[in-house]
Chain A
């Protein structure tokens, strides 16, 4: 597929899901709590059929997109915020403080996210905000590492050295001059972060961590799995939310790849043309974190 085509498609998918999330009542064909016959096959009236309680699956899917997207966007925002601050400070700190901060970031990078999220999530009472808190507490490290690398580059650039020579205070250099220059990395990481936060949220939802309150795609699959979706062959119920998660993930993947290509093109001073191969040499985001576990 051509790059621009996949980008356009990704933006379209994202736009549709955002539309779902903002106005579910207007788009969903039925009220998600309206009961019809149970386990109906997909038909013209119920495009995705109905579930064990007779709820229309498509309507439930559209309503659940709100939780999934909100949790993903919100926790990625918190992750990016924490990660940027931690990355800038770790990049600028020297000596023991720097080592400690660095070790702290590395610690969170190597510890698998899922078990830690399960332990923390179990202590919180559950509900969308608690899920955001759980994910934010552990998902910031990838951003911190990327921002730190950029900070170290900026820190050694001639103008920062000049400012230090001119006697500006460290804080002023840090927040007025270094921080704005690493925001491009932070912004690019935000998109990647949303994707991994959504993946983690859906896994937690599937496992039933903090699933007390709101219906998300992961929770939908959990119910479908628990209440006979597999045994009764109701694959429409089981797979529809999963396919949505995959589509969303793919959309974020292509968008973040586009942004990263652009960034590296700017960084290397190349024209846009020069970097545009079918699959760029470093076109894939290779982060150490893995939200699958």
Chain B
């Protein structure tokens, strides 16, 4: 059983990876329009000589099979496509910007996972209580707000009106001296962007965890665990979560990609010079290679985190016959 599931998720990851590669390879080449313009971004103001040069450099004069082989080879070496706007390979540009994105995405991912887990499991366990009604109501409202609206609201309230926190960027223009105060400065700049992503990405996970815990709360083994006098945390984390937590863990896996894509909007509003700002600028410039490379990075991270989440589910889930059948 466990082996079948394992091969299933690995096979799925491989197929998904292939699909992504195919989409990324064929989209610029098959869409109506000039493939060269799609491959290097816009081609306005290029002389004919340059055009032919790029045409040759992009390998557009080769047969399609050879182009695909070149494409894979480039990808393997971290070359994600040449951008005319940046004058260099998108892989290099992304390598520069990605750490800044991860700086807000990673903490947001962990914080939102923790909040969703703790609030969701308790609200579901004590469903229809006061706590459940308040948090669930708040989560539903937060879920309906578009991320950009949330970001602007936070910016208006905490930066423009109250002046508590900085407007954007990752540190002050003149970073304060000393490692500790520089770190504090960085933290102050991270609060709003991270908070926005947490607010945007928690509700879905919360609602999932809550409905799973609510279903488990009526089960006999939970009633028995309570009857034995176990404390609420012990019931929740030793009995409820291991039994109904798999969908939640699976959602954490795919959720990382969603956080990365949510940061597109957030970085634009908080003027953080990461992958998101790169993407939103590329939209206006029609810089296709940047858009495709960013999509590729996000898709790859989703596939990877999805696979990891699947493996974790297999290991902890009593229903999958995890530990004892390994």
Binding site for B on A (CB under 8 A): 103, 106-107, 109-116, 118-120, 122-123, 195, 199, 202-203, 206-209, 218, 221, 225, 230, 233, 235, 238-239, 242, 245-246, 249-250, 253, 277-279, 281-282, 284, 286, 288, 290, 292-293
Contact = CB atoms under 8 A, between A and B. Distances in A.
B303 A207 contact: no
A111 B152 contact: no
Contact of A233 (B15, B16, B28, B160): B160
B224 interface: no
A218 B152 CA distance: 13
B294 A115 contact: yes
A123 B257 contact: no
Nearest to B285: A122
Given A106-B12, A230-B152, A292 B160 contact: no
Contact of B144 (A110, A111, A203, A250): A250
B287 to A, nearest CB: 9
B292 A119 contact: yes
Interface in B98-153: 127-128, 132-133, 136, 140-141, 143-149, 152-153
Contacts of B280: 207-208
Interface of B: 12, 15-16, 19-20, 27-28, 31, 33, 38, 127-128, 132-133, 136, 140-141, 143-149, 152-153, 155-156, 160, 200-201, 204, 207-208, 210-211, 214-215, 251, 254, 257-262, 264-265, 268-269, 279-280, 283-284, 286, 288, 291-292, 294-295, 298-299, 302-303, 306
B86 to A, nearest CB: 16
A203 B15 CA distance: 29
A239 B153 contact: yes
Contacts of B208: 286
A114 B283 contact: no
Contacts of B251: 288
B271 to A, nearest CB: 11
Contact of B15 (A103, A112, A114, A288): A103
A114 B28 CA distance: 19
Contacts of B214: 281-282
7 contacts: A103-B12, A115-B279, A242-B148, A245-B146, A281-B211, A286-B211, A293-B265
A281 B147 contact: no
Given A278-B128, A292-B200, 17 more contacts: A103-B12, A106-B12, A110-B16, A110-B303, A115-B279, A116-B295, A119-B291, A195-B144, A209-B283, A221-B152, A245-B146, A253-B140, A279-B128, A282-B214, A286-B204, A290-B201, A293-B200
Nearest to B305: A110
B283 A118 contact: yes
Given A110-B16, A230-B155, A292-B200, A202 B146 contact: yes
Nearest to B20: A111
A281 B153 CA distance: 32
Closest 5 CB pairs of A and B: A293-B261, A249-B144, A242-B149, A293-B262, A112-B261
Contacts of B258: 112, 290, 292-293
B262 to A, nearest CB: 4
A109 B299 CA distance: 12
A115 B152 contact: no
Residue of A119, A120, A208, A238 ringed by the most chain B CB atoms within 10 A: A119
Given A111-B302, A115-B299, A293-B258, A284 B146 contact: no
A163 B302 CA distance: 43
B123 to A, nearest CB: 9
Nearest to B251: A288
Residue of B133, B146, B260, B264 ringed by the most chain A CB atoms within 10 A: B146
Given A207-B264, A293-B261, A293-B265, A245 B152 contact: no
B146 A122 contact: no
Given A118-B291, A278-B133, A230 B156 contact: yes
